[in-house]
Amino acid sequence: MRRERIDHTLQPTALVHEAFIRLVQHHSIDWQSRAHFFGIAAQVMRRILVDHNLQRIAIALHRFGNGDSQPRQRADERALSYSGGGQ
């Protein structure tokens, strides 16, 4: 997050708090090791950042009124194309 814009709306503390909330909601995870926990936590944080960015893109598309009735779907498609097909 160091390389993000200065006016980035998702602060590191908020990211960690959101990740914690999502992690504690999954009671069925059998943590194998500390590395396993950090790996899952990193994936959760990545997903939060992607979701946040997709929401920001969808809002921008809607705000600038490009005639697209489904900006979220278009934003998802663009994000998948940038990320290599969702892999």
pTM of this prediction?
0.61
- pLDDT tens readout for residues 30-76: 889 999 999 999 999 999 999 888 888 888 887 776 555 555 556 55
Distances (CA, A) of 42 to 36, 64, 75, 78: 10, 33, 23, 23
pLDDT at residue 25 tops 80: yes
- pLDDT tens readout for residues 36-49: 999 999 999 999 99
